[in-house]
Every structure is written in C-alpha cells, then in structure tokens.
Amino acid sequence: MNAGPVLYIRRGCPWCRQAAAFFSTHGVALEIQDVSESSNLKRLIEVSDQGNVPTFVYGDFVVSDFSVDELLDELAERPDIRLRHLLWTALTPGA
C-alpha cells in the first residue's frame, strides 16, 4: 500500500471536525482533503462511490459518513488494515 490515509471533509461539518480532532489527538498523520474543491469531491466519488463526509480512505478500506465509534467498529472488522500501518495501534482499543 503506497498511499497513506486520507480524510475527506467539508468546511463547517461538525462530524468532520470531530473526525479530524480524533486523528490529531491520536497522532495519526493523514492527508485532509476538503470536498468544497470540486477536484477533491470528484476524487472522493471515484474512490468511494459516494460524496458523504467525513470519509476515511486507506487503500481499499473506506468508511463513509461515520462517527468515531463507527470508524472503530469498522476497523475492528479489518485487522489486516491495523497491521499495515502503525497508526492503527493508536486507534485500536487495547492494542
């Protein structure tokens, strides 16, 4: 997996602010793309087949329109993703 994690957001979105704050608090380095820019929205739709935010993309792992708890639930279903990047130890309870 070459690309690092990407968080798609929209300015003014409270859920996006929560997601970005969560990753920041846990020291997770990620690229943040604001879908207010049409090229970022186009890319979001290409990688996730939808335009809802926040959307977290890391390779083939995509979680759309999520709360932090929903992200952690999805992550629990994909231990292979946790092992690909050290960031998952910060996100995985009990890791």
Cα distance between residue 23 and residue 88, in whole Å: 11
1 pLDDT above the threshold of 50 = no
Residue given tokens 């820019």 in the structure block: 37
Residue 87 has pLDDT above 70, yes or no: no
Higher pLDDT: 76 or 45? It is: 45
Domain annotation covers residue 12:
yes
Which 3 state secondary structure label does DSSP give 8? strand
Residue 85, domain extent: 6-91
Q: How many domains does the chain have?
A: 1
Write down the mean pLDDT value for the chain: 85
Confidence (pLDDT) at 25 = 86
Strand 31-34 relative to strand 55-58: parallel, antiparallel, unpaired?
Answer: unpaired
pTM of the model: 0.84
Classify residue 1: in a domain, yes or no: no
In this prediction, residue 63 carries a pLDDT of 94
Q: Per-residue pLDDT for 93 more than 60?
A: no
Any idea what the CATH number is for the domain that residue 82 is in? Answer: 3.40.30.10
Classify residue 44: in a domain, yes or no: yes
d(CA 40, CA 12): 16
- Taking CA atoms, 52 is separated from 2, 48, 61, 64, 83, in Å, by 24, 9, 15, 6, 27
Residue 65 lies in a domain: yes
